[in-house]
């Protein structure tokens, strides 16, 4: 082989490794937990006021985990294991085209105030989140807070920022769906 062919082959291999590494990270198939250079950033807060009772909103949030998931939710959440007050669940989020990210999280329930999430496997090594429900102006305030961390100093901070943007957008979509469903059900009562 000539030197040019060897260089070209090396570039192709590096490019293929980079693409496969990116796809692995994005989809959650490759979990990097280096334990070095960890950078943490906040998630949220995102606050939504909902014209519905707290218990109803709690039930809507808990439904795909503790009850029977709707057809639409089955495409987004799969309960892998149930325990007392906690489940292990896979969450699926569209990335681009048919590409989906998968995260695995524990979900803990403290009726009727909080639902806590902790990442087990995903595109970053650390995520903790909380939905907090409080009575507010005759309805309910739903607040989302959390933190996300990545390893690898500046590169990890950049990656965490990229993931956090999409992560928070997915949470905002969930909060909007919960608000819509809760207010719809509450108005029928």
Going through 29-85 in order, the beta strands assigned E by DSSP cover: 39-50, 77-83
Lowest mean pLDDT among 3-7, 115-119, 184-188: 3-7
Tell me: pLDDT of 93 over 80: yes
pLDDT for the residue numbered 98: 85
Tell me the average pLDDT across 26-52: 87
Residue 83 near residue 104, CB atoms below 8 Å: no
What is the CATH classification number for the domain harbouring 69?
3.30.530.20
81 is in which domain, residue-wise? 31-188
Q: Is residue 22 part of a domain?
A: no
Kindly state the helix (H) or strand (E) to which residue 31 belongs, with its residue range.
none
Look at the chain and report how many structural domains it folds into.
Answer: 1
Q: Is residue 10 part of a domain?
A: no
Is pTM beyond 0.75? Reply is yes
Q: Is residue 19 part of a domain?
A: no
Q: Is residue 2 part of a domain?
A: no
Q: Is residue 17 part of a domain?
A: no
Q: Is residue 40 part of a domain?
A: yes
Q: Is residue 21 part of a domain?
A: no
Q: Is residue 9 part of a domain?
A: no
Residue 150 near residue 163, CB atoms below 8 Å: yes
């Amino acid at each position: 082989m000539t030197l040019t062919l060897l260089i070209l082959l090396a570039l192709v291999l590096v490019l293929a490794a980079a693409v496969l590494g990116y796809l692995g990270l994005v989809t959650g198939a490759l979990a990097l937990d280096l334990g070095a250079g960890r950078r943490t950033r906040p998630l949220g807060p995102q606050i939504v006021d909902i014209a519905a009772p707290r218990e109803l909103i709690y039930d809507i949030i808990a439904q795909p985990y503790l009850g029977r998931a709707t057809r639409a939710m089955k495409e987004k959440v799969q309960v892998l294991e149930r325990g007392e007050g906690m489940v292990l669940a896979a969450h699926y989020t569209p990335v681009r085209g048919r590409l989906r990210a998968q995260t695995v999280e524990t979900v803990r329930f403290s009726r009727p105030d909080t639902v806590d999430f902790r990442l087990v496997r995903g595109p970053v090594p650390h995520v903790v989140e909380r939905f907090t429900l409080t009575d507010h102006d005759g309805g309910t305030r739903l607040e989302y807070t959390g933190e996300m961390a990545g390893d690898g100093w500046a590169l990890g901070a950049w990656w965490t920022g990229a993931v956090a943007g999409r992560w928070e957008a997915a949470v905002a979509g969930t909060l909007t769906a919960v608000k819509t469903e809760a207010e719809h059900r509450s108005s029928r009562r």
